[in-house]
Chain A
Amino acid sequence: MPTNPYMNWWSDKNEQLLLHELMTEAIQFHGLDVYYLPRIMRREDSLYSEDVLSQFVSIFPIEVYLKNVAGWDGQGNFLNKFGLNIEHTFTVMVSTDRFNEIVPSARMVGGRVSGSSSSTELSGIGTNFGDALRVGEQIMTQTTRQIRTVMSVANNERLTMNAAFDTAVVSEFYVIVPPPNPFPIPSRPMEGDWIYIPLPIDKMFEIKFVENEKAPGQFYPLGTKTFYELSLETFTYSHEEVRTGDPAVDFVETEHAYSQDLVVSLGGSGDYILGETVYQGATAEAPAATGVVALWDANNTVLRITDITGVFANAIPVIGMTSLASRGLGVEVCPLLIPTDLLNDNRYLADADDEFLDTREGDPFKDPFLGGSARC
């Protein structure tokens, strides 16, 4: 027996729009402004279904409604073998309309590309552009953050851009810049994305689950879904790259990622720029070591870098790709000294065992990365 054609509880567009607007308005009245950080996967592992090179380069302010009113759920603060854990969980509601409006669905990321500073061409490094890019789309290089428009795809491995690059593009990933689409493709919050709740809460969370049917009031009222319910947990950082350009969020990487302090006291000049890539080596195209500037203390000539590749060697200039600052590394780097991790014992162990480990029969700590010795 068909439903009563005079009673329309499931598909009345006007009623649905009203409900959506009421929900959006209610969240805006009682909610909280947060920042949404979509995750970009740079190396999805099809075997293990994980990505160890995830990246967060864009940030979207959006309002949410906190369902917890009496405090956090979860275990709270607890101590385990690995130190202090703060495990807060809670639930927020976000309007489906507002999410579609604010957070674009385009979160594609390409492979690595390279190009010189005098050319409009980009070469893919192990990257087959294939159908990923179309003429007219804009891409942004992720380290030097240069935005160019794709003029042609010469073949699957070469692109021509609308203008030459300001600085050389050296093995950088690119992202597709979301176009201002008047008809945005519906997007949804995704598990694994991050949400930063600013002061006074001042915490970063990871979306563990997006509920779109089961929450109270969520089961298709008037035949539509007006909000997502997000289960959040304080995030566990694993050296993901966080470069949104907003220091309120980028602190995650600059203050907590593995880092090294380079004492660049051996001549040279120039001031490094936060967020720029620095390198050692004959050319920027083939660097021996790279890092990203997290802190530059010009008075003490100490350069803190994260996202390190290779090994920085003593007495070799450290060159900034953007600033072109060039200063010689004056003190041998100790990779066991991690200035952004106050809890570790790596450096202490290296110093303490000097006294009583006898290496005459062979040093168990010789390692090419450490220059043949861990005595630092």
Chain B
Amino acid sequence: MLTQFYHHLLRKYHIAFGSLFKQITLVRNDTTDSNGVEMQRFVVPIEYAPRETWVARLRDDPQIKQQFSTVLPRLAYEMTAMRYDPSRRLNSLNTRVRPIPGDSTNARRYFVGVPYVLVFSLYAITRSIEDANQIMEQVIPYFAPDYTLLVKLFPSIGILDRMRIVMDGNPQWLDTWEGDGFTKTRDVLLTFNFNVAATFYGPIAGTSASLIRKVIVDMYDSSYDASLTDHSYLLTNTYDHLLREDMSGVLLTEEDASSIGDIARVVRIEVVPDPLNAIPVKPVNTTTTITEYSDGRVTNVYVGHDTDIGV
């Protein structure tokens, strides 16, 4: 809990969301229908709305001589809230393993992320309905009602997440033409609200995990198969008792191992990477070896090697 870490995840989500709208382009033709000749084309500026007042002043009007009110059209966006998303919750004890680039012996292991919904608002302000129409038509077709981006939240580690962006409710259209039109400049304000599926992760860096480089599966052929293939059965480290536990590890039964003395593996399947020191980045080639046995041995899950059970 006290380990310092900061993945810049919120910043990345802010950038990724804003990026969707960074190239909205307006074209003004000399006629109101689609047959007109293009007269102007420009990209609509977008910015993250909240800001320091003094920075805004210094950037907008450094010489204190701004000769007008503002320049339209403009886009702005901000994250207005965030809330836990129980619908995407995973078992918090689950971990994922990602390779360390260039390291063929270790990998990083991290707990699955904590799901949150980030609430974003996108605002557009224009001087005319025509401009507002163009912006509206360039935004809404992409959200039906969702649009999903594939984001590399940790580019150096390679963690990929799907950033699902869902338009929340209907866009709002506010035209200020009524009332103060003769004293204040009319503008058209569009507001879009979005829910963005985000995932947050705890510390990752510096944690290494040994890689599984060999998988061994022993197959049996006896009435005790269930005892040896069901994960709830364990052979004691002295291989003289067979234990059966429930999911939480509570002992349910304990039997003398002699009861399984008449069984032994008959087939072993081994899978190893090719080459053996392959860097764990997809795709990894593997070599599978299938061996038939009649040696009366089993694999002891505690000590990790074959054990003669005296068959």
Contacts and interface: CB of A to CB of B under 8 A. Distances in A.
B68 A234 contact: yes
Interface string B33-63: 0000111111101111101010011011100
Nearest to B182: A209
B68 A358 contact: no
A345 interface: yes
A357 interface: yes
Interface stretch (A79-87, A218-226, A296-304): A79-87
Contacts of A239: 28, 40, 42, 71
Q: Most B CB atoms within 10 A — which of A45, A46, A50, A349?
A: A349
B25 A84 contact: no
B142 to A, nearest CB: 8
Contacts of A82: 47, 49, 70, 72, 74, 76, 123, 125
A202 interface: yes
B266 to A, nearest CB: 44
B131 interface: yes
Interface string A40-78: 001101111011110000000000000000000000010
Interface in B1-29: 12, 15-16, 18-20, 22-23, 25, 28-29
A58 B27 CA distance: 25
A346 B69 CA distance: 21
A269 B128 CA distance: 41
A202 B65 contact: yes
A341 B71 contact: yes
Contact of B128 (A48, A89, A237): A48
Interface string B125-165: 11111110000000000100001011111010000100000
A48 to B, nearest CB: 4
Interface residues of B, number: 68
Contacts of B37: 112, 125-126, 171
Interface string A298-314: 00000000011110000
Interface string B150-191: 111101000010000000000000000000011111010000
A238 B22 contact: no
A276 interface: no
A356 B15 CA distance: 10
Nearest to B134: A52
Contacts of B207: none
A236 interface: yes
B294 interface: no
Nearest to B18: A349
A84 B53 CA distance: 9
A356 B7 CA distance: 12
Given A237-B71, A307-B40, A364-B20, A344 B32 contact: no
Contacts of A360: 150
A131 interface: no
B56 A83 contact: yes
A343 interface: yes
A98 to B, nearest CB: 23
Interface in A345-365: 345-346, 349-350, 352-353, 355-361, 364-365
Contacts of A227: none
Contacts of B12: 356
Contacts of B185: 206, 208, 233, 235-236
Q: Most B CB atoms within 10 A — which of A45, A239, A367?
A: A239
Nearest to B39: A53
B270 interface: no
Contacts of A234: 67-69
B45 A85 contact: no
Given A342-B59, A364-B149, A258 B42 contact: yes
B22 A336 contact: yes
B131 A236 contact: no
A357 B152 contact: yes
A365 B19 CA distance: 9
Nearest to B147: A364
Q: Most B CB atoms within 10 A — which of A77, A251, A307, A350?
A: A77
Given A341-B45, A364-B149, A374 B123 contact: no
A335 B72 CA distance: 17
A102 to B, nearest CB: 23
Given A338-B45, A346-B23, A203 B67 contact: yes
A9 interface: no
A350 to B, nearest CB: 6
A352 B243 CA distance: 56
B45 to A, nearest CB: 3
Contacts of A336: 22-23, 43
A344 B40 contact: no
Nearest to B71: A237
B78 interface: yes
A357 B129 CA distance: 33
B25 A85 contact: no
B59 A308 contact: no
Contacts of B151: 356-358
B273 to A, nearest CB: 24
Given A79-B53, A356-B153, 9 more contacts: A43-B29, A79-B51, A81-B78, A82-B49, A83-B76, A209-B182, A343-B56, A356-B151, A358-B151
9 contacts: A51-B128, A52-B28, A125-B37, A235-B68, A309-B40, A342-B60, A345-B48, A353-B16, A367-B25
Closest A-B pairs by Cβ, 7 of them: A258-B42, A344-B45, A238-B127, A84-B60, A209-B182, A81-B49, A358-B150
Interface of A: 42-43, 45-48, 50-53, 77, 79, 81-87, 89, 111-112, 125-126, 171, 191, 202-204, 206, 208-209, 231, 233-239, 251-252, 256-258, 307-310, 335-336, 338, 341-346, 349-350, 352-353, 355-361, 364-365, 367, 369-370, 374
